[in-house]
Structure 1
Amino acid sequence: MEYTQQMKNRIKRIEGQLRGILKMMEEGKDCREIVTQMSAARNGLDRTIGVVVSANLEKCVRDQIEKGEDTKHLVEEAVQLLVKSR
């Protein structure tokens, strides 16, 4: 699978959030502020997982259809990946 620049940018944004959280911890910031930022980073990662899985699913389904093969197992696998990620 080819990962798009958009996907990579999402990960870079999350990386920046994590660095910011670490800096906040080192500065002794309030727990609520840190947890809020941690939640934002987790939500960003969850969304990114969805983008990656859906892009991969789309590509795999197109490939299977071109080959005249069944795609049901691909959808089931994608759902399992999403469930497992939580």
Structure 2
Amino acid sequence: MTTNDQLLNRLKRAEGQLRGIQNMLTEERAAKDVLIQLTAVRSTIDKTIGLILAANVAANLPATAVTPELQAALDLIAKTK
């Protein structure tokens, strides 16, 4: 299970990447390099969304409702993208 501290670390990493992208644009770096970094940020955000969604679903269901099949689906959501 992912803790809030782990989620915050992911978001701080994305924030740092975005600052780096801003610097890249200021320095007029190649579009290819900027796009690679933007894709990395998007991946971090997508993964964070999946982790929060899966944890929220699991937390709001009774423990008996979390079958192995549902847990596999939640794991898939958390790993999406």
**Given the two structures, how large is their TM-score scaled by the length of structure 1?**
0.68
Gaps of 5+ in 1: 76-81
Per-residue Cα deviation, 1:16-70 (whole angstroms, up to 9, x for no partner): 000000000000100000000000100110000001101111110137x6xxxx8
Off by >3 Å, runs of 4+ in structure 1 = none
Partners of 1:56 and 1:23 in 2: how far apart? 35
Mapping 1:53-64, distance limit 5 Å: 53-62=53-62
Gaps of 5+ in 2: 71-76
Aligned residues: 66
Of structures 1 and 2, the one with the larger relative CO (CA 8 A, separation 6+) is 2
Query: If you compute each CA radius of gyration, which structure gives the higher value, 1 or 2?
Result: 1
Query: How large is the RMSD of aligned CA atoms in angstroms?
Result: 2.1
**Given the two structures, how large is their TM-score scaled by the length of structure 2?**
0.72
